[in-house]
Amino acid sequence: MSDWWTEWQTYALSDLLMFSKQAYFRLFELHNLALWPAQLVALAAGILLMLCLQRGGDRAGRHAAALLALAFLSVAWSYFAGRYATINTAAPYYAIAFAVQAVLLLWLASRRAAARLTPPIGSLAKLALGIALLALLAFPLLAPLGGRPWTQAELFGLAPDPTVALTFGALLLWRAGWMLWIVPLLWCAVTGATLMELGSGQAWVLPGIALVALALGATASMRARLASR
């Protein structure tokens, strides 16, 4: 037992990765080329989702939850199960996790009161909306900023990182319960560790967004408690 544990401790995460940095980002290029022109549909869905978050209220919240659920299902099926699984044996488990998140979002969409979005009129709500907008518009820019071609851009609804990043903004505006945070936070840990081992400069982007979202959520919860006293 001690010999096995000693040998296991000699392994680093990089020893468990079965692909290079080039292969990882090349996968997004193959994914984008295979799905074109689905990028236009994903962009339209993202814009519609942003309009729902901007509007606030019960009906917009339910529509936003349904749109996000479709985005998670898309990533689970087309990216994790259909693309990432070709280079990573853990990809099917990621697909299951994203599918579970989609089910939770559909459950949220069925509950009128729970799906109510906070109108983005306060400073915290505006920051939450900013996170969602950043995920939709800025994530695709990481490819050219990192010296990679536009064809490797990561888009909401097609790639996991921008989909999760936009979700954080929505969770804040929903004032969602902890169950809806689990999968997005776990994915932040997975993608952050993977990109760090690959030596990518964007390793801290999604974990950084998660930390900001958690801080905003804690601040909003504290304000609500103080106001109720």
Tens-place pLDDT, residues 127-143:
999 999 999 999 999 99
Q: Helix, strand, or coil here: 57?
A: strand
pLDDT at position 7: 44
* Rounded-to-integer distance, Cα 101 and Cα 105, Å: 6
Helices (H), the chain: 2-9, 13-16, 21-35, 38-55, 58-74, 91-109, 123-137, 142-145, 160-174, 179-198, 205-228
Mean pLDDT of the chain: 88
47-61 residue pLDDT tens: 999 999 988 888 889
Measured between alpha carbons, how far is 6 from 107 in angstroms, rounded to an integer? 45
Enter the DSSP assignment of 152: G
* Amino acid at the residue 125: A
Residue 204, token pair as written in the block: 């801290």
Q: Is the dihedral of CA 154, 77, 104, 179 positive or negative?
A: negative
Residue matched to tokens 């199960």:
81
Q: What is the pTM assigned to this prediction?
A: 0.90
Closest of 82, 115, 104 to residue 180, by C-alpha: 104
* Residue found by looking up tokens 């851009």 in the block: 153
